[in-house]
């Protein structure tokens, strides 16, 4: 059972890391934003499911393991608003010069970054 919870926690963290890493990939802007929002919704659903499993584990007296997992899940959940702000703060700049394509550019910028603490929780690194 502990292995399953660690797998779930790993999947949640990986999904959130993917959401952060995706901001650096140059894709169709609308597609990218929609994809990040879908990933966030999926991650929130996984957190809800994991919390339900944690509650069932508590009832089966594995309190130490459950307490550790709840702490980790709580830390991840506390970072979700920062990830949402990061997604909402995406800005897209582009220029297409029909005469000289060497002047074309496309840039996705994110003015708001997650905190160092959330970066460690979500990605295992500092931002």
pLDDT tens, position by position, 87-114: 888 888 888 888 888 888 888 877 778 8
Q: How far apart are CA 32 and CA 93, in angstroms?
A: 14
pLDDT in tens, 29-84: 777 777 778 878 878 888 888 888 877 776 766 667 777 888 888 888 888 888 88
pLDDT(127) > 70: no
Q: Which pLDDT belongs to residue 97?
A: 84
Whole-prediction pTM: 0.42
Range of the domain at 109: 2-123
Total domains in the fold of the chain: 1
Q: Which pLDDT belongs to residue 11?
A: 64
Phi-psi region of 78 (alpha: psi -120 to 50; beta: other; left: phi over 0): alpha
């Amino acid at each position: 059972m502990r292995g399953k919870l660690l797998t779930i926690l790993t999947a949640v963290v990986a999904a959130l890391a993917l959401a952060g890493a995706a901001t650096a990939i140059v894709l169709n802007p609308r597609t990218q934003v929609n994809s990040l929002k879908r990933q966030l919704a999926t991650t929130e659903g996984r957190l809800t499911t994991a919390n339900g499993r944690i509650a069932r584990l508590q009832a089966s007296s594995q309190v130490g393991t459950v307490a550790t997992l709840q702490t980790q899940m709580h830390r991840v959940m506390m970072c979700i608003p920062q990830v949402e702000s990061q997604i909402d703060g995406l800005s897209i700049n582009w220029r297409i010069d029909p005469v000289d394509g060497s002047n074309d550019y496309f840039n996705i910028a994110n003015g708001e970054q997650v905190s160092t603490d959330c970066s460690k929780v979500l990605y295992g690194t500092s931002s």
